[in-house]
Amino acid sequence: MDKDENTNYVETVRDLAFAAVAPITHEVEPGRPEEVMLLPPGYTVANLDGRRKLPRRVEVSKTLQSLDSFIEYINEFKQAGTAIFGDREGHTISCTIDYHDVNPDWCAHKVTLVNKPSTAWQIWTTNNKQRKTQRAFLHFIQDNIQDITDPDHATLIEEIKNVKIGKKGSREIKISHSSESSNKNSDIEVTSGLPEFLSLAIEPWRHSKHYALLARVYMHIENDEVQYSYQLINPDRIIDHIFQDYIGEIEAATSIATYV
């Protein structure tokens, strides 16, 4: 074999080797061609998306905690089949950018709004219906006074400090809202000007607006000691309300209906 023949032989082998691993177009399903290559040994089928300069489609799942950012993201990437889904129980709202339209799509580009409770909401719900000593309740009110819109802060603190109790006994008393009152039975006498309700303004979710909420105040007398507790009025309705408000804002800003 002369030099030219040897060169031709090597080039032929080289060309066959390159041809064996050259990308080929294969219809994974009708109307959806994909480039694949056969890699020796064993001829494993490999998708080339990871070797491209740019991907052929977006495959990403994002998590956001701001309603404004969620809306901005949808408006930037939405397309004809984009769909939004709400989960009341999980307090999440998700959007699939490449959802099915007339034709099926990959459903690989997603963004989810995760609504986590605010610090203030966690504090007030965790302490809901929990009895506290007079001193502990006073400290609790002072630490969270910024969430109370009524009554006047200074008046509220003074009324907690100045509750007067008479004889020993065991009795639960709901404080009169209208005026200072004296509650009596054969065992005790209590005088207090505390209101029946505290008016609160709290962010239920992080980055949400403030919602009005009522807390009913209770005073408990145990062996000559004053204890306090409060009960939030229908906090679950506030969560339902904010969830529905979010759905309305998203639909208005994106012009996309939400499936709940």
In this predicted structure, what is the pLDDT of residue 187?
Answer: 53
Is 149 exposed, middle or buried, given 0-12, 13-18 or 19+ CB atoms closer than 10 A?
Answer: middle
Higher pLDDT, 19 or 74: 74
Residue 18 has what pLDDT?
59
Judge if 135 and 208 occupy the same domain: yes
What mean pLDDT do residues 219-237 have?
89
Give the global pTM.
0.74
20/138: higher pLDDT = 138
pLDDT for residue 224: 72
User: Could you give the 3-state DSSP secondary structure of residue 49?
Assistant: helix
- Is the CB of residue 223 less than 8 Å from the CB of residue 133? no
At residue 203, the pLDDT reads 97
User: What's the confidence (pLDDT) of residue 184?
Assistant: 44
Q: Which domain holds residue 22?
A: 3-51
Same domain, yes or no: 87 and 17: no
| In a shared domain, residues 135 and 199 | yes
**Residues 232-248, buried b or exposed e (16+ Cβ, 10 A)?**
beebeebbeebbeebbe
Q: Using alpha carbons, select from 145, 128, 146 the residue that is nearest to residue 232.
A: 128
> Average pLDDT in the 21-50 region?
65
74 and 96 inside one domain: yes
Residues 210 and 111 in one domain: no
> Quick one: 163 and 93 in the same domain?
no
> What's the pLDDT band for 77 if we cut at 50, 70, 90?
very high
Residue 220 in contact with residue 137, Cβ under 8 Å?
A: no
Q: How many domains does the chain have?
A: 3
* H/E stretch holding 120: helix 119-126
Name which residue leads in pLDDT, 133 or 193: 133
Long-range contacts of 189-195 (CB under 8 A, 24+ apart): 189/165, 190/163, 190/164, 190/165, 190/166, 190/219, 190/221, 190/226, 191/163, 191/164, 192/159, 192/163, 192/164, 192/219, 193/159, 193/162, 194/156, 194/159, 194/160, 194/163, 194/219, 195/150, 195/151, 195/156
- pLDDT score for 74: 98
Q: Are residues 127 and 81 in the same domain?
A: no
Domain shared by 146 and 206, yes or no: yes
Q: What is the pLDDT of residue 181?
A: 35
What is the CA 155 to chain-centroid distance, rounded?
36
Q: Is there a single domain that holds both residue 34 and residue 91?
A: no
- Please indicate, yes or no, whether residues 101 and 127 belong to a single structural domain of this protein: no
Question: pLDDT value at position 40?
Answer: 66
94 and 9, same structural domain? no
pLDDT of residue 59 exceeding 50 = yes
Residue-level pLDDT at 229: 95
* 97 and 183 belong to one structural domain: no
Pairwise pLDDT comparison (173 vs 52), residue with the higher score:
52
